[in-house]
Amino acid sequence: MVYGLDMDGKPLMPTQRHDKVRHLLKERKAKVVKKNRVLRKHRFIH
């Protein structure tokens, strides 16, 4: 998921269209504000 902010800093709906985000970053129509890679692993013990 990629989370975005509008021009006023308000959160936008998250997207899974990573290719669109890469395209916007390449054209400098968007910029990275914060990188956060969180990997959660849940173990279910029966």
pLDDT digits (tens, 9 = 90+) for 30-43: 888 888 766 555 56
Cα 9 to Cα 5, 12, 14, 17, 18, distances in angstroms: 5, 9, 14, 20, 20
Q: Is 5 helix (H, G, I), strand (E, B) or coil?
A: strand
pTM of the model: 0.62
Residue 16 has pLDDT above 70, yes or no: yes
Q: Which residue has the higher pLDDT, 36 or 16?
A: 16
Output the six-digit token pair for 6: 């509008």
pLDDT of the residue at 2 = 86
pLDDT digits (tens, 9 = 90+) for 3-14: 888 888 888 898
Q: Is 42 exposed, middle or buried (0-12, 13-18, 19+ CB in 10 A)?
A: exposed
- Cβ within 8 Å of residue 32, ≥6 positions away: 25
